[in-house]
Amino acid sequence: MSKKPKTGRPAKPPGEKYATPARQLGRVSEEDWQTLQGAALSQGKSFTAWAVAVLLRAAKRLSK
């Protein structure tokens, strides 16, 4: 029996296998991204720490 060709995406090299971009927000313009990054840096936080704090405040405000 002959081997069936694999379907789907070709495998990535090991160095790229688990690399994910810093942007986990979907499609964000470069200008908006720089604004968000600047806001996080102005508070001395990483983008993720800053975004989590902002999102938690918004969630608490909306759940009242």
Distance (Å, whole) CA 60 – CA 62: 5
Residue 16: pLDDT over 80: no
What mean pLDDT is reported for the chain?
84
pTM score over 0.95: no
Q: Do 53 and 61 meet the contact criterion of CB atoms below 8 Å apart?
A: no
Beta strand residue intervals within the chain, DSSP E: none
- One-letter amino acid identity for 21? P
- One-letter amino acid identity for 63? S
Distance (Å, whole) CA 64 – CA 9: 45
pLDDT in tens, 40-59: 999 999 998 999 999 999 99
Parse the chain into domains and list their residue ranges. 29-64
Distance (Å, whole) CA 15 – CA 45: 28
